[in-house]
Structure formats: structure tokens, C-alpha cells
Structure 1
Amino acid sequence: MLAVVKEHLGPGFSVKEVPYPVLRDTDVIIKVRSVGICGSDGPILAGTRPVPYPLTPGHEFSGDVVEVGKAVKNLKVGDRVTPCIVIGCGDCDMCIEGKEVLCDELVETGIHVDGAMAEYVRVPAKVCRKMRDTTTYDQGASVDPIASAYRTVKASGITSKDVCCVYGAGPIGLYAVQLIKLRGVKTVICLDTDAGAQRLELAKELGADYTINVSHEDPVERVREITDGAMADYVQDCVGAEGVPIAALKMLKKAGTYGITGLYHTLPQVDLGDVVRREIKIFGTICYTRQEFEECLHFVEDGRVKVEPFITHHFPLKDMDKAYEVYQSKQCIKIILNP
């Protein structure tokens, strides 16, 4: 079968024929129909994030079950499914508490084991969620990033009286805008730079009450102006970029909450003295649980979260080189590969 293969640290990847997956008793094999290129795939493809080599990336996907292991009870050939990335051991305290994403033995499809940038992929049956007949494969492939944004929103404790800021208008941030809006909050403000100017316009269409281009406006002063000096109750950081924590904390009112979805690869500056004096709450989330993944599938299937405006490009798997060029150019929001 055809697959994208990352074979070593550093630049370069291959699109080549690889062996078809071997079925195991508790697994299914899926014919991949749609797979998204995620921001976390970028460092893997660029060779700046070490992974087990050789590796086929791809964790935002959906498709059709074509083979079923003999111990699998809940799926059959022909089922249309979207699998979540998280595979916990099932026996540790975190897994028992439903927090399998924090399992010490965590395995993630497309990061620790071969993923879905291929014609076929093998996954445990337990991580698959059946899709309705009316759900598109692109919608199914979009549940993963929605769930990543949702875990932070769900843990935030925001209410209908709150002013909420979303820092970053990439896919995760734009999903966060929609998910926060679903909570019935008072005001949603989305922030990004010149590079995300078009995405800020999309944020408005998806429910943001205000947008701030931080390349031209002081984000703290603009939030002060929007809120008549009251400042924000909640900031969700969906970028993980230098300088954001300083601005985010200044946007918050006393006892405000700073939720971090974006993954930091550097040590950001944070004034912990100010955090103490103003009783700011800071928390982070990573990925999602299977329960949260299923909840997000329902959001999509019920029409409460839109995915179609995000999908700017489609490429066949064989044209992965062209897709990666578009991804690197940043002239896209979400690229979907169709093996």
C-alpha cells in the first residue's frame, strides 16, 4: 500500500509502497478516506521532533472498517469510523479514572506507532467511534483537533457571564471560539497576528464578537477598551508562542483563568508574583479522553460545530509533497489528504 514515511531525523520524507498492516485480535484495519495534516505533524515531517523511525504520521482521520480482529465485538466490516489518537494501558490509575491521556504508557497513533497518512491503518477497536451515514469523512477527520480544543474549554469553568479570549486563530483556536460560544458566554474575543488576518475574519463568522490583530493593536489595551476596563475572565492560549503568556495574564481580571492548549517548546516568561497577588488560575491540557472525543463527534454530527470552513485544500496521498509545500507556506487552514 502507499504511505508517507518519515525515516530519519532532519528534513525529508518519502511517499512509497509499504507492507499492508497485520491484523491483531483486538484491532481493526481501516481504509483511510480522509486524513488531516495537523500542526503537530509539521515538526515530525520537518524532522525536528524525534519519533520512532520509520514512522507513518497522521492522527486526524476517518474511514471504513475493512478487517476486524476475532476478539472485536462492537465493530463490523463496512462501519464508517473515526478513531481517537489516545491509546492508554487501561490498568493504571489514570486510565481507571478516565484520564487515559495521562497514562505513563500512552501510545498515540501517528506519533508513537504508524498512523493514517496511508491507504490503510491498524488501530485498536476500542478507540473507534462509529459515524452516522450522513457524516462526511472530512468531518470525521476533524474531530481530533476539536477534541483537543474542547478538553481545555471543558475544564475552564466558564459561565454565561464571562468575557473569554482565544489567542490564536488556527484550527484549534477557531474550534475553541465555537466551543466557547456553545457555553453561552457573554463575549468571545479572538486574537492573532497579520499572518492570521484572514482567519480572524473567519472567527467572526464562527461567532467571535470581536477580533484583535496584535500586529497592529495592543491586545491588553484593546481588551480593556472592549470590556470598559473590567478585563477578561478567561484566556485560552491556542498557540504556545513566546510573549503570549505575558499578554494573556495582563488581559485577565483578578481571579481570572488562563487555559493553555498550545504546546510550548520553550520556557515562557510568567510573573508568578502577579499570579499570586491576583489569584490567577493557570492550567494546561493535553490531547483529550475518549469520552471527550465522542462528545465532539456529537457536536459535529448535530451541527453545533462547523468544520467545512476550515478545509481549504484537498490532495491525493500521492501528492503529499505538494500538500506539504502548501502547509509550509501557511496559505491554508486545514489540508485534507485523500488516500
Structure 2
Amino acid sequence: MLAVVKEHKGPGFAIKDVPMPVCGEEDVIVKVKSVGFCGSDGPILAGTRDVPWPLIPGHEFAGDIVETGAKVKGWQIGDRVSACIVIGCGNCKYCIEGNEPLCDNLVETGIHVNGAFAEYVRVPAKVLVKLKDSTSYDFGAAIDPIASAYRTVKSMPITSKDTVMVLGPGPIGLYATQLLKLRGARKVIVLGADCDKERLEMALKLGADYVINNSVEDPIERIKEITNGDMLDYVHDCAGAVPLVEIAMNTLKKTGHYYITGLFHELAPVNLGKVVRSEIDIHGTICYTREEFRECLDLIEDGRLQVEPLITHHYALRDMQEAFEMFQSRQAIKIMLHPEE
């Protein structure tokens, strides 16, 4: 089969023929129809994030089951499915409590084991969800980034009087914007930079009340204007960018909440004195549970979230180099790749 393979440490990847995955007793083989390019895939392909190589990345996908393992029940060849990235061991304290993203033996598709930048992918049957016939494969491949935002938003005790700022108008930030409005937030503000102009415009179309271009506006002064000096009840950090931490801390009101979805790849300075004196709550979330993944599919299939506007570019899998360059240039919001093309 054709696959994108990270073969060694450092820059570069190969687009090549590799052996088909072998189906285990509790696994299925899925023929990949759509696979999204995630922000975490870029560093893997660029060689700035270490993974166990050789590795086929890719974890936002949907397709058709073409083979089932001997012990698999409830799934049939031809079922249209997506699968969550999180594969918990099922035996540790966190899995037993239903908190598998914190599993002591966590395995993630496309990061620890081969993923879906390929014509076929093997996954455990336990992580599958079934798509309605009316749900496109592109929409099925969008569940993962939605669920990453959803887990964070779901944990926020938001009320109808609260003002929230989303840091980073990438796909997760744009889904968070919609989810925050669904939760009933009074005002949602999205912060980006000059390189995010099209994404900030998209944020307004998806329900944001205000956007702030950090390249040309002072975000602290702008927040004072929007809130009449009351400042923010919540910041939802979908960027994981060190320079934005200070903005978050300086725009939150006393007793404000700083919720973090974005992964930080370097240490960020935090004024813990202010955290204490202003009673700031800092809360992080990672990935999502299988139940949360299922709930996000319901949001899509019920039409409560807009997915299609975020999908701006489509490529054949064999054109991954071009897709990678498009991702690096930040000209795309969400890229979908299609192994069959």
C-alpha cells in the first residue's frame, strides 16, 4: 500500500509502498477515505518532534472496515467508521475510572504506532465509532480535533454572563469558538496575528463576537474596551505558544480561569504570585475519552457544529509534500488527504 513514512530522525519523510498492516484478533483494518493534517503532524514530518521511527503518522481519519479480527464483535466489513486516537490499556487506575487519556500505558495512533497517512490502517475495534451513511468521510475525520477542544470546553463551568477569549484560530480554536457559543458563553473573543487574517475572518463567521489581531492591536487594552474594564472570565488556550501566556494572565479578571488545550513544547513563564493573589484557576486537558469522541460525532451528525467551512484544501496522499508545504505556510485552515486519489 502507499504510505507516508517518517523513516529517520530530523527533517524529511518518504512517500512509498509499504506492506499492508496485519489484523490482530481484536483489531480491524480500515481502508482510509479521508485523513486530516493535524497541527501535531507537522512537527513529526519536519523532524522537530521525536517519534518511534519508522512511523506512519496520521490520526484524524475515516474510512471503511475491510477486515475484522477473530475476536471482534459488533463490527462488519463495509461499516463506515472513524476512530479515536487514544488507546488505553484498560487496566490501570485511570482507564478503570474512565479517564483513558491519562492511561499509564497510553498508545496513540499515528504517534506511537502506525497511523492513517496510508491506504489502510489497523486500529483496535474498541476505539471505533460508526458513521451514518449521510455523514461524509471528511466529517468523520474531523471528530478528533473537535473532541480535543470539546474535552476542555466541557470541563468549564461557563454561565451566560461569562466572556471567554480563545487563543489561536487554528482548527481546534475555531471548533472551540463554536463549542463555547453552544455552551452559552455571553461573548467569545478570538485572538490571532497577521498570519491568521483569514482564520480570524472565519472565526467571526462561526460565531465569534470579536476578533483581535495581536500584530496590530494591544490585546490588553482591547479586552478592557470590550469588557468595560471587567476583563475576562475565561481564557481558552488552543495555541500552546509561550508569548501568549502573559497575555492570558494579564487579561483575566480576579478569580478568572485559564484553560489549556494547546500543547507547549517549551517551558512557559507563569507569574505564580499573581495566580495566588488573584486566585486564578489554571486547568489543562489532554486528548479526550471515547465517550467524548462519541459525543462529538453526535454534534456533527445533529448539525450543531459547522465542519465544512474549515476544510479549505484537499490533496491526494501522494501529494503529501505539497500538502506539507501548504501547512507550513499557514495558508490552509484544515487540509484533508485522500489515499484513493
> What residue in structure 1 maps to residue 249 of structure 2?
249
Whether the aligned pair in 1 keeps the contact of 2:80 and 2:131 (CA below 8 Å) is yes
Whether the aligned pair in 2 keeps the contact of 1:193 and 1:214 (CA below 8 Å) is yes
CA positional deviation for 1:70: 1.4
Question: Given residue 284 of structure 2, which amino acid in structure 1 is its aligned partner?
Answer: G
CA displacement 1:309-338 (0-9 Å, x = unmatched): 111111111111111111111111111100
CA displacement 1:204-225 (0-9 Å, x = unmatched): 0000001111111111111110
5+ long unaligned stretches in structure 1: none
Matched, 1:26 2:26: yes
TM-score where L is the length of structure 1? 0.99
Whether the aligned pair in 2 keeps the contact of 1:311 and 1:335 (CA below 8 Å) is yes
> What residue in structure 2 maps to residue 290 of structure 1?
290
Three-state SS of the structure 2 residue aligned to 1:156 is coil
> What residue in structure 2 maps to residue 191 of structure 1?
191
Question: Given residue 210 of structure 1, which amino acid in structure 2 is its aligned partner?
Answer: Y
Whether the aligned pair in 2 keeps the contact of 1:243 and 1:269 (CA below 8 Å) is no
> What residue in structure 1 maps to residue 172 of structure 2?
172
> What residue in structure 1 maps to residue 275 of structure 2?
275
> What residue in structure 1 maps to residue 47 of structure 2?
47
Question: Given residue 322 of structure 1, which amino acid in structure 2 is its aligned partner?
Answer: E
Q: Percent identity?
A: 65
> What residue in structure 2 maps to residue 215 of structure 1?
215
Distance 1:268 1:71 in 2: 46
Question: Given residue 64 of structure 1, which amino acid in structure 2 is its aligned partner?
Answer: D
Three-state SS of the structure 2 residue aligned to 1:45 is helix
Distance 1:168 1:323 in 2: 21
> What residue in structure 2 maps to residue 100 of structure 1?
100
Matched, 1:163 2:166: no
Distance 1:327 1:211 in 2: 22
Distance 1:168 1:329 in 2: 16
Question: Given residue 203 of structure 2, which amino acid in structure 1 is its aligned partner?
Answer: A
Distance 1:164 1:54 in 2: 41
CA positional deviation for 1:49: 1.1
Matched, 1:90 2:129: no
Whether the aligned pair in 1 keeps the contact of 2:158 and 2:184 (CA below 8 Å) is no
Question: Given residue 244 of structure 1, which amino acid in structure 2 is its aligned partner?
Answer: L
Question: Given residue 20 of structure 1, which amino acid in structure 2 is its aligned partner?
Answer: M
TM-score where L is the length of structure 2? 0.98
Aligned length: 339
Correspondence list, 1:321-332, <5 A = 321-332=321-332
CA positional deviation for 1:42: 0.7
Three-state SS of the structure 2 residue aligned to 1:65 is strand
Distance 2:126 2:317 in 1: 27
CA displacement 1:54-97 (0-9 Å, x = unmatched): 10000000000010111111211110000000001001110011
CA positional deviation for 1:269: 1.4
Distance 1:92 1:242 in 2: 33
Distance 2:38 2:197 in 1: 20
Three-state SS of the structure 1 residue aligned to 2:155 is helix
Distance 1:335 1:221 in 2: 35
Q: Pairwise CA RMSD of aligned residues?
A: 0.7
Distance 2:48 2:216 in 1: 31
Matched, 1:137 2:146: no
Distance 1:78 1:140 in 2: 15
Whether the aligned pair in 2 keeps the contact of 1:258 and 1:280 (CA below 8 Å) is yes
> What residue in structure 1 maps to residue 146 of structure 2?
146
Question: Given residue 14 of structure 1, which amino acid in structure 2 is its aligned partner?
Answer: A
> What residue in structure 2 maps to residue 112 of structure 1?
112
Which sits farther off after the overlay, 261-270 or 86-95?
261-270
Distance 2:102 2:222 in 1: 37
Three-state SS of the structure 1 residue aligned to 2:118 is coil
Question: Given residue 120 of structure 1, which amino acid in structure 2 is its aligned partner?
Answer: Y
Distance 2:238 2:53 in 1: 29
5+ long unaligned stretches in structure 2: none
Question: Given residue 266 of structure 1, which amino acid in structure 2 is its aligned partner?
Answer: E
Moved over 4 A (4+): none
Distance 2:262 2:93 in 1: 26
Whether the aligned pair in 1 keeps the contact of 2:62 and 2:82 (CA below 8 Å) is yes
